[in-house]
Each structure stands twice: as structure tokens, then as C-alpha cells.
Structure 1
Amino acid sequence: MTDFETTLAAGKHKSPGNGQVVVGVDGSPSSLAAVAVAAREARLRGCALRIVHAFLWPVLRVPLEASPLGPPDGGLRNEALRLLRDAVMHAAKAEPDVEATSALVTGEPLTVLEKESRTARLMVVGSRGLGGFVGLLLGSTAVHLAAHGHCPVLVVRGTPVADGPVLLAVDGSPAGAGAVEFAFAEASLRGAELLACHVWNERLYVGPGDPPNAVYDPDRLRDAEERLLAEALAGCADRYPDVRVTRKLLTGRTRPVLIETSRQAQLTVVGARGRGGFAGLLLGSVSQALLHHAESPVAVVRVEKPSPELGG
């Protein structure tokens, strides 16, 4: 399936057998930005970087090699190989000590990258590729991978604050537990503060349809939300004593509040689907909103259901 592999000079940070950071590239400025981010993530994890380009043209059965009438280095295959070489050089410039390999893999991008995610520690993609429509906020590859990937997916977008915190969106759901673990680990790797935010509404009922005798106790509700936030973080806080954690309750509508808070972060972390999501939905409304509108890169962490043969 792999048509081409090349290796940059071995880096001292390679750690065989523990998975790689994988980044998908298509030659767009967005994907080159993703390469630099992925190289940094590989350095932080002490692992290798794998740069992948999905080569669709063989599937469409079009000529791949240089035309006899054209330059010898022409043709779709050579163009793809140049794209990969440029990406490897970009990674080397960003993180010289990280070993990077590149692969030209025959197939459609969504399928290729989803398969790559099965053995990756982290998948990194740009927010938009060459095929994006003008005005589109997020490419289909990023959305699909966030919803279907088998490992955490980091979508490079926005303008990260270099010394800002890692922002964690907490909802207390079982599906969000993986995001909590990932955010603590990422904050530890980066030497950053963890800003754990939980957004709630002060009223149980909002709007003209409120029951006329609705009774609620704001103080009691706030106490319950504070407990939810503390309990969601408790286990990881013990496992990552080096991470300074700031817990914050925010009030308002979840999506706009988190989008605004992401302005101060170097990374925003969210679960793929939390409380209130429809059964079977792979990507919740909050994670989708952050993918499209967050002001910093977004990591989406999806919890996979155990397979039946493993007793799940």
C-alpha cells in the first residue's frame, strides 16, 4: 500500500515501539503548519514523526509518471514526492532532533488517515486543506478524523498563546474522561498550567416557557457543579502532581463561552461527545463548535467502546 518511504537522519528522541505522532499533509499552508506542530508533539513525547500523504490518483487510474514530452521530474508521483520532501525538511527545521519518516500511501485521505490513527499516539491535521471551499471554516478531513479517529486528534487552527494554559472543557461525563487524562498529560509535557473549565447555567429553566412555579437554588446548583468539576479532575490531579491546575466555573451558553476562553490558551482539549449528546452521535455540538471556531489548536479525544472479545 505504501509506494514511497524516506527517513530523515535518526534523531535522539526516537522511542521505538510506543507509537508515533502522525501528521497528514497535502501541500497546503495549513498542513505545513500542522507538520511543525506535530514535530513538536513528537519531541515532547520522545517518539518519531510520520508524515503521510494520501495519494488518490492511482485509485482513479490516471497517468502517474512524467510525460515523455515534459520534464523528467514531472508527473503526479514526482509532485507528491516533492510535497513529502518539503514536509520532511519543514519538520527538520522545526525540530532538528526528531526522527521523521514520510509515506506516500495510495488511497482516499479520509480512509488513509483513519487507518493511520489505529497505530498512532496522536494524529495532527491542519484545519483546512487544498480542497476546501472558500469561506469554509474547517475541512472535511479534520471533521471526519475527529469523529472517527482511533487516537486523539489535534487540529491546528487559530493563534495559540505560547505561554498560555492548556484549556480543558469539562462536562463530567464518562466520555470526557479521556480528554481529562490527555489534557493533564499534555500540560505536563509542555510545562503549562491546566485551566479546567466547566460551563453551566444558573437557572434550570430559561425562557418564556418556564413553569410558573419553577423553584431553583443557585447556591445549591453552584455547589453541585463545583463538585462535578472537582471529581472529574481528582484522579488525574494525583497522577500529575507537577501540573498546576486552575479550576473555573463559567456561566452562560457552553459553546460561545468556551470559544471565547480559547483565546487565552495554547491548546484546547475537549471530548468528542459529552452529556446531552444523542446516542450514536460521534461528534458532539461542543466539540464541533470548538473545531470550527476556537481561537487555538483543538485536541479532540474520543473514547472507544471496548470490543466484545475483550469483554466490553
Structure 2
Amino acid sequence: MNILVAIDELDPSCHHHLEIATQLARAYGGGLIAFHAAAAADLVHAGRTLQQLAGGVSSEVAAYGESGRAMAILEAADRHGCDLVVIGTQGLDPFVGRFLDSPAHMVLAAGRHAVLVVHPEHGLRKRGPRTVLAAMADPDFSTRVLQHGLHLAKALNAQLKVVHVGSREEDPVAVLLHPREPHSSQRMVAEAAAELTRAGVPSEGLVVPNYAGLADELAQAADRLDADVIVIGSSGKLDLAQWMLGSIAEAVLHRSRRPVLVVPNLTL
């Protein structure tokens, strides 16, 4: 897997994103390139600065035009055959992000690549057991999410938690008080976890009752499980309604400071 890490600010804050991308590139055994989109007048200076900041990582600086930084990032990812884009954020504000052309929002909205969004407050732990949380919706839509979760868990030598946000009737306390046949979503996550375990990653299926809303429940589950990465799907390129109101994946990004891998339904 080839990875492009998009460097927005050419200062020491980029080391956090570079460190995470480097960890993943080593784990996957793939290539890594650090990329920065600069104004045409700043290309030479930006190139030298990025080369110094990136250390031994291959780097590239390209000019962005009227289409903006996000399009330059997407074009670079295509040019280098990258499967994953790593991009940082200081917190994705829904209005600033959508209406003032935040590169992270625009790259996500394009739906062309899997995108790992990282926050400066949280990275991948270097030691100890790791956990990947894969958010499961319906089985057909979640296939690519589970595949990415499986590959990521293998690369990081992590356990995998398959989490589905279900109805309030699936609250563990309610199930104990009123035992009955397993709910379809409980069977769904159990079957998915069993298949992933057979594929070589210790996995567990969990159903979380929906009291606070999908995004909040997923973010809270990630905190309880101390997940290193949340893997969640999106429907691909956002339509106008999703752009204005936000998708579940972007809502999770607003609520969690953990790395979030967003997998568009158009790519593996």
C-alpha cells in the first residue's frame, strides 16, 4: 500500500502526521511520500523546507491553482498511485471546513481515496496492545470497511473490534432482563468477527445501543475500547445534502480526537 501524507503547514507540527504515516508505511511495507501544495511563487522555498522537515521521506511540492490545495493533493495521490491519504486537522469545523475549503473536508468529499484523518492530540501507540475499531453498518456496505480494518489490524498487529450501533432494545441490561433470540445485528457482528478471526486477526463483535446518536456512540465506544484507529465507511462522493448537513463519518471526526480512517464505498 502506497501512502501520501499531506503536509498543510511547513513547521514542526507536521512531524506528528509524518510519524503516523511512517509507522503505517513500515507496517504495510509500502511506499510513502510527503506532499505539500504551495503557491507558485513559494515553490522553491517550500520544497527546501519540506525536504528538511521530512527527513529521509521522499517529498514533493506542487503548485495549486484555482481548484485549491485539496485538488492538488488528490492529483498527487493519483500521480503516485497512492491507496491512502494521511491528512491532519486541528478539528473539522463543519462551517469553516465546508465553506472555506478545508483541504481535509474537500479530500474527504471527493471520495476518491481512503483517507486517514489525524489530530495533533492523538496518534498510534508505539508499544503495548493495539486496537482497531471497525464501524459496521449493513453487511454489503461494510465489506470494504471490514477489509480495510482487517488489513490495518494485521499491519499494526492489533485486535479488531467490529462495532455496530443498534437499537435501544439491544442494550445489554435490557437483554439480560428480557432474554430472547439474538437480534439480527448481534448475529451480523458475531459472524463478521468470526470470519475476520479466521482470516488471522483476533476479532470481537459488539452491538452498542443508540442513545446518543450514531456518531456519538461510535466515538464513545472508541474511547471505552481505547481504539488506536476508527475505521468507518462513507458513501463515496458527497451529494449536496450530505455536503450541507454532514455525513456520519464526518460527524465522528468532529466528536473524536482519535485517528479516523474513512473508506469510500468506491475504493478498496
Give the TM-score band, short-chain normalised.
0.7 to 0.9
1:136–1:259 CA distance, 2 compared to 1 (3 A): farther
Secondary structure, in 3 states, of the residue corresponding to 2:86? Answer: strand
Match of 1:116 in 2: 76
Query: How many residue pairs get matched?
Result: 242
Spell out, residue by residue over 1:169-196, the C-alpha distance to the aligned partner (whole angstroms, 9 max, x if none): 1112423211110001111111111011
- Select the residue among 136, 146, 161 that pairs with 2:108: 146
Work out the CA distance in 2 between the residues paired with 1:237 and 1:284. 33
Name the CA distance, whole Å, in 2 between partners of 1:30 and 1:154.
Answer: 17
> What residue identity is the alignment partner of 1:229?
V
Paired with 2:161 and 2:131, the residues of 1 have a C-alpha distance of 6
Q: Does residue 255 of the first structure (1) align with residue 218 of the second (2)?
A: no
- Find the counterpart in structure 1 of residue 3 from structure 2: 21
Q: Tell me the C-alpha RMSD between the 2 structures.
A: 3.3
Rounded Cα–Cα distance in structure 2 between residues aligned with 1:87 and 1:219: 58
In terms of fraction of residues, the more helix-rich structure is 2
Change (3 A) 1:203 1:174: same
In 1, Cα distance between equivalents of 2:29 and 2:188? 34
The yes-or-no answer on 1:185 pairing with 2:167 is no
Q: Is the 8 A contact 2:16 2:123 kept in 1?
A: no
C-alpha change, 1:285 and 1:77, in structure 2 (3 Å) is: closer
- Give the match's secondary structure for 2:37: strand
CA contact 1:25–1:32 (8 Å) conserved in 2: no
Q: Which of the two has higher C-alpha Rg?
A: 1
Q: Percent identity?
A: 24
Consecutive unaligned residues in structure 2, runs of 5 or more = 171-177
Name the counterpart of 1:5: none
Query: Distance in 1 between the 2:214 and 2:181 partners?
Result: 16
Shift of 1:124: 0.3
Q: Which amino acid aligns with 1:247?
A: G
TM-score if structure 2 supplies the norm length?
0.77
Aligned mate of 1:302, from 255, 264, 268: 264
Tell me the equivalent position of 1:49.
32
Which residue in the other structure is 2:58 paired with? 101
- 2:184 corresponds to: 224
Give the C-alpha shift of residue 154 in structure 1: 0.5
Alignment of 1:1-312 (within 5 A): 20-26=2-8, 27=10, 30-55=13-38, 57-58=39-40, 64=41, 76-89=42-55, 92=56, 100-107=57-64, 108-118=68-78, 119-128=81-90, 140-157=102-119, 158-160=121-123, 162=125, 163-203=129-169, 222-233=182-193, 235-238=195-198, 240-241=199-200, 243-252=201-210, 253-263=213-223, 264-273=226-235, 281=242, 285-304=247-266
Give the Cα–Cα distance (whole angstroms) in 1 for the partners of residues 142 and 17 of structure 2.
25
In structure 2, distance between residues paired with 1:278 and 1:173: 23
Runs of 4+ that moved beyond 6 A: 135-139, 277-280
In the alignment, the residues of structure 1 paired with residue 77 and residue 136 of structure 2 have an alpha-carbon distance, to the nearest angstrom, of 24
Contact 1:117–1:149 (CA under 8 A) maintained in structure 2: no
1:77 counterpart letter in structure 2: L
Question: Structure 1 stretches of 5 or more lacking a match?
Answer: 1-18, 59-63, 65-75, 93-99, 205-217, 307-312
